[in-house]
């Protein structure tokens, strides 16, 4: 576990959560889920809701690291709104700087497509997964990666996505895999990570999110109750160690 005194101290730089969820309830819950799971005080996790407006300038030096949650956009969407195109173009510039500087970054679900495309990989809908709890397996590289420290070789995580990595960037390191979706977690450089699963969710927040997105094609009608039951029965909260490790490793003091 991280030292809460360090992550909550006034002398530390905040982390930044970049959100694309248009629903106020979902965006607020996402902020609290990431902060609570990572062990960051909510006030030290600044949230920018990109669907409400794109920042004209963003200085990475103001933050300890960047976190990106899930959202309604898919890189493989055949038809994209003007907002989606603007958000994706904005992310192109941000992630180019993240990769150039090897800046701390952790993207969950939507972040997989963003980081994968930024690294010149590809995505498709071949490996989408309906909302469920799956078994995730660390690769040999994953067993020695500090962000996965404290997690067993296999652990459970919550998924629900329409697209996934089809081909990893040439310089990416595969850290975790799954039976139906081969790329569950990867890293580019030393500090930029993406997970296909949601380490910020537990059974209750999973149930809430399923209710919010009940009509958006993430699961078959009626299957949500079984997915939530699996989240209560299996230790999905353990995957949150990834966020705690990320925060602990990258918390930075002001200069």
Q: Is 205 helix (H, G, I), strand (E, B) or coil?
A: helix
Q: What is the DSSP letter of 14?
A: P
Q: Report the percent of the chain where pLDDT is more than 70.
A: 92
User: What is the CATH class of 4-250?
Assistant: alpha beta
Please check whether residue 79 is in contact with residue 48, taking contact to mean a CB–CB distance below 8 angstroms. Answer: no
Distance from C-alpha of 135 to C-alpha of 249, rounded to nearest angstrom: 26
Higher pLDDT, 121 or 103: 103
List the beta strands (DSSP E) in 31-99. Answer: 45-49, 66-68
Here the tokens at position 145 are 């990666």
pLDDT at 8: 62
Q: How many CB atoms within 10 Å of residue 124?
A: 13
pLDDT for residue 1 is more than 70: no
Q: Is 186 helix (H, G, I), strand (E, B) or coil?
A: strand
Higher pLDDT, 113 or 2: 113
pLDDT at 145: 98
Q: What is the pTM of this model?
A: 0.92
Q: How many CB atoms within 10 Å of residue 18?
A: 25
Q: Is 48 helix (H, G, I), strand (E, B) or coil?
A: strand
Rounded average pLDDT over 208-213: 86
Which residues on neighbouring strands pair with residue 75, listed in sequence order? none
Q: What is the DSSP letter of 13?
A: P
Give residue limits of the domains in the chain: 4-250
pLDDT at 2: 43
Rounded to the nearest 5 degrees, what angle is found at the Cα of 21, between the Cα atoms of 19 and 23? 135
Phi, psi dihedral angles at 39 (to 5 degrees): 80, 30
pLDDT for residue 105 is more than 50: yes
Q: Is 55 left (phi over 0), alpha (psi -120 to 50) or beta?
A: beta
List the beta strands (DSSP E) in the chain. Answer: 15-19, 45-49, 66-68, 105-108, 122-124, 129-138, 154-161, 164-167, 172-177, 185-188, 192-195
Res. 224 pLDDT band, cuts 50 70 90: confident
pLDDT at 159: 94
Rounded average pLDDT over 119-131: 90
Rounded average pLDDT over 45-70: 95
Least confident of 87-96, 171-180, 215-224: 215-224
Here the tokens at position 99 are 């990769």
> What average pLDDT does the chain have?
91
């Amino acid at each position: 576990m991280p030292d809460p005194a360090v992550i909550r101290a006034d002398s530390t730089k905040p982390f930044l959560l970049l959100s694309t969820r248009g629903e106020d309830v979902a965006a607020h819950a996402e902020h609290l889920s990431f902060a609570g799971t990572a062990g960051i005080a909510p006030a030290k996790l600044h949230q920018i809701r990109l669907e409400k407006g794109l920042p004209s300038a963003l200085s990475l030096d103001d933050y300890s690291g960047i976190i990106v949650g899930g959202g309604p956009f898919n890189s493989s969407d055949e038809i994209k709104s003007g907002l989606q195109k603007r958000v994706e173009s904005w992310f192109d510039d941000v992630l180019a700087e993240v990769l150039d500087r090897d800046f701390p970054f952790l993207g969950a679900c939507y972040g997989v497509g963003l980081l994968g495309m930024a690294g010149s990989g590809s995505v498709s809908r071949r490996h989408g997964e309906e909302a469920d709890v799956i078994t995730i397996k660390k690769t040999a590289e994953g067993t020695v990666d500090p962000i996965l420290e404290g997690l067993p070789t296999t652990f459970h995580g919550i998924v629900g996505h329409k697209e996934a990595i089809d081909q990893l960037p040439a310089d990416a390191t595969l850290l975790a895999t799954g039976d139906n979706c081969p790329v569950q977690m990867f890293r580019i450089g030393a500090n930029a990570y993406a997970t296909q699963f949601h380490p910020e969710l537990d059974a209750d927040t999973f149930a809430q999110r399923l209710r919010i997105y009940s009509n958006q094609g993430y699961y078959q009608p009626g299957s949500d109750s079984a997915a939530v039951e699996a989240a209560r029965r299996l230790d999905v909260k353990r995957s949150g160690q990834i966020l705690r490790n990320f925060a602990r490793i990258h918390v930075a003091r002001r200069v």
